[in-house]
Chains A and B, each alone.
Chain A
Amino acid sequence: DTEVTQTPKHLVMGMTNKKSLKCEQHMGHRAMYWYKQKAKKPPELMFVYSYEKLSINESVPSRFSPECPNSSLLNLHLHALQPEDSALYLCASSQEGTVGYGYTFGSGTRLTVV
């Protein structure tokens, strides 16, 4: 299995809703990432988990809450989002501990906040 699987592919939520994005990989990668991408812009890093511990939080608002239940799963819990949070949310994974390894990206969840 050489994929990163993200669910759902599309999500529409109201500003008072609580929802979660899910990311799964079975490549044994120990680093997992959440990125946010607005239209026609490069991805922006949100969070990095390394060996199931949060290692980077790029000053993301608390309405986004990451969770790494085990080495294969990464969740992003969403609560009280704003319309400007509408974007493509990408998950990625990589080997940890060396710069010699590449990244594998998921196909993303397109989030619309109404």
Chain B
Amino acid sequence: KNEVEQSPQNLTAQEGEFITINCSYSVGISALHWLQQHPGGGIVSLFMLSSGKKKHGRLIATINIQEKHSSLHITASHPRDSAVYICAFRQGAQKLVFGQGTRLTINP
């Protein structure tokens, strides 16, 4: 079993829909990262959170440390949000453990 599980693996939605991507992990962590990767491109760090909720524009990330669960929400989704969204946590001092990613497609 992977230490990080994401769901769904693939998600297709219509423009304007509210999107939720889930991340569950099996070990104690101090912080969780949400990352975005556009096709063929580099990775952008969206959030790093250790408790509660963070918001940036139309993106909201929440984490429940006790439940070992985090969610990424996108409000009023847009085709430019189409990307792979990855959750990850730091293991030890330097190593990131990545989820398998959620491939999101927003159709106009």
The contact string, 1 if C-beta is below 8 Å from chain A, for chain B 75-97, is 00000000000101010011110
The number of chain B residues with a CB under 8 A from chain A is 24
Partner of B42, one of A31, A97, A108: A108
When A and B form their complex, which 9 residue pairs have the shortest distance between CB atoms, in order from nearest?
A107-B42, A42-B98, A105-B43, A102-B48, A99-B30, A108-B42, A48-B94, A102-B45, A105-B42
Per DSSP, are chain B's interface residues mostly helix, strand or loop, or mixed? strand
Residues on the A chain within 8 Å of B100, using CB? 41-42
Report the bound CA distance from A45 to B96 in whole Å.
8
Q: How many residues of A contact B (CB 8 A)?
A: 28
By the criterion CB–CB under 8 Å, are B94 and A55 in contact? yes
Instruction: Name which of A31, A42, A43, A90 has the most chain B CB atoms within 10 A of its CB.
Output: A42
Chain A positions within 8 Å of B, measured between CB atoms, are 6, 31, 33, 40-43, 45, 48, 50, 55-56, 88, 90, 92, 94, 97, 99-108, 110
Decide if the interface of chain A is mainly helix, strand, loop or mixed: strand
The reply to whether A42 and B45 contact each other, CB–CB distance below 8 Å, is no
A9 and B44 CA atoms in complex are apart in Å by 16
The CA-CA distance from A55 to B50 in the complex, in Å, is: 26
